[in-house]
Amino acid sequence: MSARRRPIIAIDGPAGAGKTTAARNIAERLSLVYLDTGATFRAVALKALRESIDMDDGEALAALAASSRIEFAGERFERILLDGEDVSEAIREQRVANASSRVAVHAELRAHLVELWRAIAKPGGVVLEGRDIGTVVFPDADIKFFLDARPGERAKRRFTEQAEKESVTLDRVTHDLEVRDESDRSRAHSPLRRAEDAIEINTTDLTPEQTLEKLLEAATERLN
Question: Is the pTM here over 0.85, yes or no?
Answer: no
Give the pLDDT mean for 174-193. 84
CA distance 184 to 76: 27
- Give me the number of domains the chain comprises: 1
Report helix, strand or coil for 89: coil
Alpha helices in 76-134 (DSSP H): 94-103, 107-121
- Mean pLDDT over the full length of the chain: 90
**Does the residue 224 lie in any domain?**
no
- Please classify residue 218 by burial: count the beta carbons closer than 10 Å to its beta carbon, then call 0-12 exposed, 13-18 middle and 19+ buried: middle
List pLDDT tens digits, range 71-130. Answer: 999 877 889 999 999 999 999 888 998 899 889 889 999 999 999 999 989 889 999 998
**Does the residue 219 lie in any domain?**
no
**Does the residue 2 lie in any domain?**
no
Q: Looking at the predicted structure, is the pLDDT value of residue 3 above 80? A: no
Report helix, strand or coil for 132: coil
Here the CATH number for the domain that contains residue 149 is 3.40.50.300
Residue-number span of the structural domain to which 40 is assigned: 9-213
DSSP structure class, residue 91? G
Q: In this predicted structure, what is the pLDDT of residue 188?
A: 72
